[in-house]
């Protein structure tokens, strides 16, 4: 589909959005918009059409957001409990890796594009949403500051498992969070996650200085 046709379709969808309250349900508009996305998205390299598929939690959060509402409490509990069950802890029982590698992962935003090779290492792009080390002055504020994360929270077993869980599948703790499900979605490897854990919790990490 040409770019001109796609843009025309999107513009039409936006016009219909203004009329949705008078001529149709928002769910109908949402379905139409999804159709536009599906016909305009083309598979290339490792970027497949399955990326357009939503699981239960993403579909529920999208529907709630579309109507400007919070997720129903019973639905929230169900999807958070289901996501909690997906969390897998390290088989060797070791959670902490190398904070220097963790810093590199946190800074890196590459990966998972059509031009990347299957199995190539991805970045965490953590600074896009969080302040992490004091030395880095360029960071996003969508998520909370993680500076002095370990220094403030300690390194007890509960903290370690909670931190790992948040990295592995953050939707287990907040169904509609924008944080990627690094472990559950296979974005980062177990080794990479251990390195990020070190960045957050190792007392020698610049995060905790």
Provide the H-helix boundaries in 85-148. Answer: 99-107
Burial (CB < 10 A; 0-12, 13-18, 19+), residue 20, is middle
> Residue 50 half-sphere exposure, CB side, CA atoms within 13 Å?
4
pLDDT 10s digits, 66-101 = 778 889 999 999 999 999 999 999 999 999 999 999
Single out the residue of 176, 189, 152, 140 nearest to residue 63, CA to CA.
176
d(CA 31, CA 202): 47
**Residue, of 135 and 50, whose pLDDT is higher:** 135
pTM (predicted TM-score): 0.81
Single out the residue of 193, 184, 159 nearest to residue 79, CA to CA.
184
Q: Supply the pLDDT for residue 27.
A: 66
Over the chain, what is the mean pLDDT? 86
Mean pLDDT of 38-53: 81
Mean pLDDT of 141-155: 96
pLDDT 10s digits, 100-113 = 999 999 999 888 78
* Per-position DSSP letters for 12-55, written without gaps between them: HHHHHHHHHHHHS-HHHHHHHHHHHHHHH---BTTB-GGGG---
pLDDT 10s digits, 157-191 = 999 999 999 999 999 999 999 999 999 999 999 99
Token pair for 76: 């929230």
What is the share, in percent, of the chain residues with pLDDT greater than 90?
Answer: 61
Q: Of 12-21, 29-38, 54-63, 115-124, which gets the smallest average pLDDT?
A: 12-21
Q: Of 40-44, 121-125, 132-136, which gets the smallest average pLDDT?
A: 40-44
**CATH class for domain 99-208?**
mainly alpha
């Amino acid at each position: 589909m040409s770019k001109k046709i796609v843009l025309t379709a999107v513009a039409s969808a936006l016009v219909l959005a203004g009329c949705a309250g008078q001529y149709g349900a928002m769910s109908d508009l949402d379905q139409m918009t999804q159709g536009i996305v599906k016909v305009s998205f083309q598979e290339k390299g490792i970027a497949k059409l399955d990326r357009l598929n939503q699981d239960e939690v993403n579909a529920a959060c999208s529907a709630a957001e579309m109507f400007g509402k919070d997720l129903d409490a019973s639905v929230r509990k169900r999807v958070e409990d289901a996501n909690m069950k997906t969390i897998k802890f390290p088989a060797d029982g070791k959670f902490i890796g190398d904070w220097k590698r963790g810093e590199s992962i946190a800074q890196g935003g590459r990966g998972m594009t059509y031009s990347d090779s299957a199995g190539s290492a991805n970045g965490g792009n953590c600074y896009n949403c969080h302040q992490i080390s004091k030395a880095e002055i360029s960071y996003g504020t969508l998520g909370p500051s993680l500076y002095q994360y370990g220094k403030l929270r300690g390194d007890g077993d509960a903290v370690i498992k909670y931190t790992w869980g948040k990295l592995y599948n953050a939707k287990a703790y907040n169904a509609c969070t924008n944080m990627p499900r690094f472990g559950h979605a296979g974005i980062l490897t177990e080794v990479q996650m251990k390195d990020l854990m070190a960045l957050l919790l190792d007392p020698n990490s610049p995060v905790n200085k």
